[in-house]
Chain A
Amino acid sequence: MEALFPPPFLHLLREVLECTPRIRGGLEQRTRARQRMRAASGTFVGHRAYEPGDDLRLVDWNAYARSGEVLTKLLEDDAPRSLTIVLDRSASMAVGDPERRGGALRYCAILGSLALARLDAVHLVLAGDDQRAFQGLAQRSELLLALEGLAPREVAPVELARAVLERDKAASLCWISDFTEPESYSVPLRMLARHGRACLCLLPLLRLDVAPDEDGWVELHDPETGERQRIAVDAALRRALADELAVLERRRDAAVAGAGAQLLRVQVPEARDFRLLSWWPGSLRSWI
């Protein structure tokens, strides 16, 4: 099985960081950047081992003098600049070739790495009881490891929205999902909008979302419900399904736009395609 983050992808991450000196969240939170400076001397909440790249001002020299161990102070900021990523781990993401789930995780890694490099933190909201926070570029590897270790799990969109609102009320928000049932996202997106949370809905796009390429006698399997259906696929059926997919796209657009959010469709590149232009398209770059 191919690794989720192979060396070409890590190289791609570095390229993305190099070509993106600032991000939208940084500009919008300029005022809060000054607060971050204050936060450097804010409330001490603990230590962690020093890692290359940590701000030297956060090194606890007194602790170093006592123990000889270089520790970085953890200071809690009341309103850190961060990016909240809501990741859909439902079974319906495990479709396509390349798999939509893999594409979603890689996009999550790209956005998370950018946030770690250009902002203060990344919040990963996976479920109401599974939220993970990463601070500093030095924790990018932890972020990647955490993403690699994620298992599929069905979580209702409303639960995810509540988790976002409980966690952080100011960070930028990106919701990565397939939005297969667009209507089920209307309520949570409206909840976020009422709390002033502008949300980017990122849909990793596959070929099967646009036009099916199955042909002949095939068995269709819905990984979310487990239902199976054998169908004889021909050109007429493919055309009819393409019409249905077009209707679904319109429903997605309507559901997202109705909640004041933005739906961004990014094509999932092929399995061995790690080119910058493929993974860092203009639409995503412009949003950043």
Chain B
Amino acid sequence: MDLTHGERLWWLAALPVLWLLARPLRPKAIVATPYLALWKRAQERLGRRPLRVRWWRLLLLAAAFASAALAFAGARAGHRGGPTALAVLLDDSASMAARVRPGAASAFEQAKAALSELLARLPPEVAVTVATLSGRTWSLLPGERRELARFEEFAPAVGATARGLDALAARVATPECATWVLTDALVPVAAPAAGALSLFGAPCDNLAITAAHVVDAWPLPEVRVEIEVQNASRRSVVATLAAIGGATGATVDLEVAAGASRTTTLVLRRTTGGRIRVALSAGGDALASDDAIELVVPGPAATDLAVLVDQDDNPALRAAAQALAAECGGHVVAAGASERAGMLLVDGGALAPAVLGPRRITFGTRFSSAALQPGALLARPTLVDWDRGSPLLAGLDLSELQVTRALGGDFGGPGQVLVRGADGPLAVVREWPDGRSVHFAFSLTESNLALLPAFPSLLRRAYAACYRDQAIASILPGVILDAAESDLRTRPAGLVERPLPEFGSPGTSLVVPLLLAALALLVARIYS
């Protein structure tokens, strides 16, 4: 028998108080007499019993009090020391999905099976918490059924790594809580030094995409994907990179030396855009989750460009539109169908404010139907500077820009200044909820902008900027593993499995029996 609150046994120190309370009162006088026998006989004649401490009753009271004190101290039988809780740290990093050979169970599947088997034979008093490195948790209170725990919903998380596993295990481990780490320990990180450890899987060869970078030439159809391939094996491997999805492109074969990395570029041509899966294929690869990446590329640019010019003898904008349409794979539509065109290019003239919106590139266009006021035109405005940090103008040289006449800076609303003149902005880009519009204060006929070498790039960038985020290619997050996570070649030397400790048992509480015993003793005292 042991006690859960041993310090409460100090209440037993109150037993002498019981003895003091059970003693008769202090007499008011002590009288010496030779006739004590006569006193006793006189008492007997009167049917009186001498007052004295009845040790039997005092013993019963003391036993009842001791029983109550033991119950208060939480007496229990069959208690066995040891942890009463189990924290299972299940490594669900991507490397746990590796299979030593095709068709074999992965390390994660083996770990789940071992966990289910342990839960089936674990004492029911042990509370269990399963936590994965990706943040999943699963708890089981004492006494709950656990035979059916199969952890079907648990799977290796692509983005999870085994880093910090040792620190987490050390933080969780306490004398009351045993820690059990289930891992493959193939990643070159510190293995947990605390708690039990079970190792699954085995070192194996793996080929992985460890880095990727996409360069999208939108609105051009070309998409270039730079891919780094790591060969974490003991032999040279010839792998094939191929794209599947909204682009077409040549398949690339590359040979990667043992233990080395190699970077190659996959040139794709956009068809429909959207998700493009670039997969790496090679024989003898243990881990499939690091063999592919997914890109999201914008679809091809709008196929119809409308051009409005106020002077028919202005070929510059039409030529630029034709060139742009040719690059994007589209075509120039008639001006009368401008409302249905994906992009509107305007040079000079005036537009109603209602026509203003995203995907508009205007050159010297007024946004008012009122007559042009005298003085609204600036003659030979002085170019002060242009925004070199803007994606539209980065790397472009506008120093040769000459403007003979420009409007007075009315762009139909505020916008980010691209080109600044001495008398006000000469070009701005405006933000709309679903795109942008770019406006120049001067027309192509009254400036030499169309003649500058930077004009095609400027027009192409303005075209892309009008589509804003829809024109940004990206790699889906989380699809590329940590390079260390893909290296499955070695396991730390000297790392051995450690068994689980013997679990403790709370035993059977003796509180109720002791209280009943105390009650019985008190009853016996009453009738004694």
Per-residue CB proximity of B30-43 to A under 8 Å, as 1/0?
A: 11111111111111
Closest to B44 in A: A240
Q: 1/0 per residue A169-195: CB within 8 Å of B?
A: 000000000101000000000000000
A219 to B35, CA, bound (A): 13
Give the docked Cα–Cα distance between A95 and B39 (Å).
15
Taking the nearest CB of chain B, how far is it from the CB of A255, in angstroms? 16
User: Which of A94, A236, A241 has the most chain B CB within a 10 Å cutoff?
Assistant: A241
SS class of chain B's interface: helix, strand, loop or mixed?
mixed
The interface stretch among A131-139, A243-251, A261-269 is A243-251
- A221 on the interface (CB 8 Å rule)? yes
Output the least CB separation between A100 and chain B (Å).
Answer: 8
In contact, B32 and A218 (Cβ under 8 angstroms):
no
Interface pair A95/B43, CB less than 8 Å apart: no
Q: Contact: A230 with B24, CB < 8 Å?
A: yes
Which among A208, A216, A240, A248 is the interface contact of B33 at CB below 8 angstroms?
Answer: A208
Of A222, A237, A248, the contact of B43 (CB 8 Å cutoff): A237
The interface size of chain A toward B, counting residues with CB under 8 Å, comes to 31
Closest to A222 in B: B36
Q: Nearest chain A CB to B40's CB is how many angstroms away?
A: 7
B27 within 8 A of A: yes
Task: Determine whether the beta carbon of A217 is less than 8 Å from that of B27.
Answer: yes
Q: Which residues in chain A, 258-276, are within 8 Å of chain B measured between CB atoms?
A: none
Give Cα A152–Cα B31 distance, bound, in whole angstroms. 19
Q: A218-B28, A219-B27, A230-B51 are in contact. Are A244 and B33 (CB under 8 A)?
A: no
Chain B min CB distance to A247 (Å): 8
Q: Is A223 an interface residue (CB 8 A)?
A: yes
Q: B395 CB to closest chain A CB, in angstroms? A: 115
Least CB distance, B441 to chain A, in whole angstroms: 120
User: What is the CB-to-nearest-CB distance from A163 to chain B, in angstroms, rounded to a whole number?
Assistant: 23
Q: Is B493 an interface residue (CB 8 A)?
A: no
On whether A229 and B29 interact (CB within 8 A), knowing A208-B35, A237-B46, A244-B35, the answer reads no
Beta-carbon contact of B38 and A245 below 8 Å: yes
Q: Verify if B171 is at the interface (C-beta below 8 Å from A).
A: no
Expressed in whole angstroms, the Cα–Cα distance for A208 and B28 within the complex equals: 18
Asked if residues A217 and B36 are in contact (CB atoms below 8 Å), the reply is no
**A237 and B42 in contact (CB under 8 A), knowing A216-B28, A223-B32, A227-B36?**
yes
A227 and B38 alpha carbons, distance in the complex (Å): 13
The answer to whether A244 and B42 touch across the interface, beta carbons within 8 angstroms, is yes
**Closest residue to A179 on the B side, CB-wise?**
B34
A182 to B50, CA, bound (A): 26
Q: Which residues of chain B are within 8 angstroms of A224 by Cβ–Cβ distance?
A: 34
Q: Does A220 contact B (CB under 8 A)?
A: yes
CB < 8 Å neighbour of B50 from A178, A208, A216, A229: A229
- Residues of chain B with a CB closer than 8 A to A95's CB: 32-34
CB pair A237 B48 closer than 8 Å: yes
**What CA separation (Å) do A232 and B30 show in the bound complex?**
12
Question: Which residues of chain A (86-104) have a CB below 8 Å from chain B?
Answer: 92, 94-96
25 A–B contacts, CB within 8 A, in A order: A92-B34, A95-B32, A95-B34, A217-B27, A218-B27, A218-B29, A218-B30, A219-B27, A219-B31, A220-B39, A221-B30, A222-B32, A222-B36, A222-B37, A224-B34, A229-B52, A230-B50, A230-B51, A231-B39, A231-B51, A237-B39, A237-B46, A241-B42, A243-B42, A245-B35
The 9 A-B residue pairs with the shortest CB-CB distance, nearest first, are: A240-B42, A219-B27, A92-B34, A222-B36, A244-B38, A241-B42, A180-B34, A95-B32, A219-B30
